[in-house]
Amino acid sequence: MLIVMKPSASAREIDAVVNLIEAIGLRAHPMPGATRTAIGTTGNQGPIDGRRFENLPGVAEVIRVTKPYKLITLDLRPEKTIVRVGDATIGGKELAIIAGPCAIESRDQAFAVAEAVQQSGARFFRGGVWKPRSSPYAFQGLGEKGWEIMAEIRKTFGLKIVTEALEEPHISLIEQYGDVIQIGARSMQNFSLLRKAGRSKLPVLLKRGMAATLEEWLLAAEYIMAEGNYNVILCERGVRTFAQHTRNTLDLASVPAIRRISHLPVIVDPSHGTGSAYMVTPLARAGVAVGADGLMVEVHNQPELALSDGAQALTPSEYAQLITEVRAIREVAAPVCQGESKGEHA
């Protein structure tokens, strides 16, 4: 059930609706918008009789939700969500650039890459501290030692730190030292991890599972939002297909498909989406052209020596060139793409 308040509804009227939702044992999710507040409800197993809400002061409309999602939808929030991370944003006018190595390997490596990405204007530094690897014998990340390096990078360069939580206890560490919690493709349906991230105050970057449909991916975002964390960023990183010329098939059609359903920002990861450095820039250009709110790109100062994902890592100079190109495309694409989704404002 979705309760749409009148544009003139007062804070007291909104509170009264929220209180009634809670009194019947459900959870209320008030979403203030540019013109009105809508209140989503979760926690019910079957349909709720919405009539008791219809006559409450300030209520414009009670809508039965027949779609599987309730909170990610444009019905609840017609304007695009802008995720704010300090003075940086994802989903607004600015093209969000999240760049850095696949894994934090050493202080020298992380600093070299951080300096390069900051110079080209990135606001976010990515780097795995704990790495989900296919082989148990592969480099698993520096773990907590990596955090000392991340904390220094954050202080030295003013970059926002994005790193993946593999397990629930990682979330509180990211809360202490980082800025955005990444949920990786392999964890997209780790529901207890999603719930834990949903109880965090930090934004969550949710990667698409490697065999996830759009609906499964959006329902994973619902898990996070249902716990009260509305700052979710979706990241298209490709899915497994029969293709052998790429590591994954980057599904750029998911960007406009999400725009039609959801207010959440969506970014594209052409690094994991292709697996090969030579394809990263062309697919990054395409991602921006198709209307993505940002990019996640892997960069390494010595890709040939990287401990993970070296084949898809750009050198700092290749990365700088990519940024120049995607900025130019963004200039042209942003007004066109923003006009596409109804009610969007930056």
Interface contacts to ligand PEP, rule CB under 6 A: 102, 128, 132, 184-186, 207, 237, 272
105/309 with CB nearer Mn ion: 309
- Which of ligand PEP, Mn ion, none interacts with 184 (beta carbon under 5 to 8 A by kind)? ligand PEP
- Crossing angle of helices 168-177 and 191-198, rounded to 10°: 30
Q: How far is the CB of 319 from ligand PEP (least distance, A)?
A: 16
76/193 with CB nearer ligand PEP: 193
31/180 with CB nearer Mn ion: 180
What's the residue count for the chain?
346
Q: How far is the CB of 298 from ligand PEP (least distance, A)?
A: 7
Q: How far is the CB of 28 from Mn ion (least distance, A)?
A: 39
Q: How far is the CB of 322 from Mn ion (least distance, A)?
A: 16
185/220 with CB nearer ligand PEP: 185
- Which of ligand PEP, Mn ion, none interacts with 222 (beta carbon under 5 to 8 A by kind)? none
Query: How many C-beta neighbours within 10 Å does residue 49 have?
Result: 10
- Which of ligand PEP, Mn ion, none interacts with 327 (beta carbon under 5 to 8 A by kind)? none
- Which of Mn ion, ligand PEP, none interacts with 29 (beta carbon under 5 to 8 A by kind)? none
Binding stretches for Mn ion (CB under 5 A): 102, 309
Q: Give dist(CA 72, CA 91) in Å, integer.
A: 14
**CA end-to-end distance (rounded Å), the chain:** 28
Q: Give dist(CA 58, CA 5) in Å, integer.
A: 6
Going by their DSSP bridges, the two strands 88-90 and 83-85 should be labelled as: antiparallel
- Which of ligand PEP, Mn ion, none interacts with 132 (beta carbon under 5 to 8 A by kind)? ligand PEP
248/341 with CB nearer Mn ion: 248
41/308 with CB nearer Mn ion: 308
User: Measuring CA to CA, how many Å separate 323 from each of 66, 134, 238, 318?
Assistant: 42, 30, 21, 9
Name the residue number minimizing CB distance to ligand PEP.
184
Q: Give dist(CA 217, CA 235) in Å, integer.
A: 10
Report DSSP letters for 113-156, one per residue. HHHHHHHTT--EEE-BSS---SSTTS----THHHHHHHHHHHHH
91/184 with CB nearer ligand PEP: 184
Name the residue number minimizing CB distance to Mn ion.
102
Going by their DSSP bridges, the two strands 124-126 and 59-63 should be labelled as: unpaired
Going by their DSSP bridges, the two strands 2-5 and 37-42 should be labelled as: antiparallel
Please report where in the chains the tokens 């290749």 appear, as a residue: 318
Helices (H) and strands (E) in the chain, counts: 11, 14
- Which of ligand PEP, Mn ion, none interacts with 185 (beta carbon under 5 to 8 A by kind)? ligand PEP
Please report where in the chains the tokens 């003139």 appear, as a residue: 8
305/328 with CB nearer ligand PEP: 305
| H helix runs in 5-100, sequence order | 11-23, 51-54
Q: How far is the CB of 220 from ligand PEP (least distance, A)?
A: 13
Q: How far is the CB of 242 from Mn ion (least distance, A)?
A: 22
Q: How far is the CB of 175 from ligand PEP (least distance, A)?
A: 19
- Which of ligand PEP, Mn ion, none interacts with 207 (beta carbon under 5 to 8 A by kind)? ligand PEP
Task: Tell me whether residue 55 is exposed, middle or buried, using C-beta atoms within 10 angstroms of its C-beta: 0 to 12, 13 to 18, 19 or more.
Answer: exposed
